[in-house]
């Protein structure tokens, strides 16, 4: 068998997420059907992260195995041809050793969350940002974000259906920056709990609105209680930016 690694970009708007489901279109299904279209082989792709419904990716990583050996450049071109008209693009393809695992070999994952902070709704960025029409204090949000860096029990920011064995994670990066009308939040860790980033962003919005002080954000984390989490931020502002190996 020959193993290949893909770097994939996609607009998550029309999909139920990465993972294949029986009754709804998924990114995984679109990719596997494209692989079959050029190779006539049925494969199961494995991804670095199972993005949720509506979540986008700039640098999702996936791997799959084929019996026949192919030139990686031809794989990229063939997949991009057969993926049309789905909003999915294979940015890179390469042959890798059979020990490579898109999920388990990853050393870090980086997400970006985009908030459009202005009165007017987005015309060009619909389904690609979270539109928040009330003024947000990005500096206060950043101050609060720095208070939860490091290794903690993130139960407060963990979805009730999360299947991770432990709520303990190490958050290496959590930055909030304003660029004109847009607030960009960057989060980096080896791995995240289900809905962790969106939960943290939803709570940071309360800080930005002045409803919470930064220390209350940290207190919510220390409570280890999901009921202390702010409202879940919507999926359309979230992007899986890159995965490091």
Tell me phi and psi for residue 178, to 5 degrees.
Answer: -105, 135
Tell me phi and psi for residue 50, to 5 degrees.
Answer: -90, 85
Structure token pair of residue 62: 């996936």
* Residues across the chain: 245
Structure token pair of residue 192: 């995240």
71 catalytic per annotation:
no
Q: Do the Cβ atoms of 115 and 182 come closer than 8 Å?
A: yes
Q: Do the Cβ atoms of 171 and 187 come closer than 8 Å?
A: yes
Q: Do the Cβ atoms of 83 and 2 come closer than 8 Å?
A: no
Closest CA to 245 of 48, 56, 98: 48
Structure token pair of residue 28: 């995984």
Closest CA to 220 of 230, 233, 234, 231: 230
d(CA 154, CA 6): 31
The one catalytic residue among 23, 52, 139, 172: 52
d(CA 115, CA 202): 11
d(CA 93, CA 77): 9
What are the catalytic residues?
52
């Amino acid at each position: 068998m020959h193993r290949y690694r893909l770097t994939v970009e996609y607009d998550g708007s029309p999909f139920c997420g990465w993972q294949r489901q029986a009754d709804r279109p998924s990114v995984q299904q679109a990719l596997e059907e494209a692989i079959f279209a050029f190779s006539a082989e049925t494969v199961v792709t494995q991804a670095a992260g199972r993005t949720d419904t509506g979540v986008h990716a700039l640098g999702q990583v996936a791997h799959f195995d084929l019996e026949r050996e192919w030139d990686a450049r031809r794989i990229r071109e063939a997949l991009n041809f057969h993926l049309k008209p789905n909003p999915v693009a294979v940015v890179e393809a390469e042959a890798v050793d059979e020990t490579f695992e898109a999920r388990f070999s990853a050393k870090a994952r980086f997400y970006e969350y985009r908030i459009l902070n202005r009165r007017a709704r987005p015309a060009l960025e619909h389904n690609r940002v979270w539109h928040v029409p009330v003024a947000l204090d990005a500096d206060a949000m950043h101050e609060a974000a720095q208070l939860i860096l490091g290794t903690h029990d993130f139960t407060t920011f963990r979805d009730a259906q999360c299947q991770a064995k432990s709520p303990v994670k190490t958050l290496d990066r959590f930055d909030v920056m304003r660029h004109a009308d847009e607030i960009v939040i960057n989060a980096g860790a080896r791995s995240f709990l289900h809905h962790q980033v969106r939960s943290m962003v939803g709570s940071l919005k309360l800080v930005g609105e002045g409803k919470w002080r930064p220390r209350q954000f940290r207190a919510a984390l220390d409570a280890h209680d999901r009921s202390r989490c702010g409202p879940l931020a919507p999926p359309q502002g979230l992007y899986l930016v890159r995965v490091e190996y």
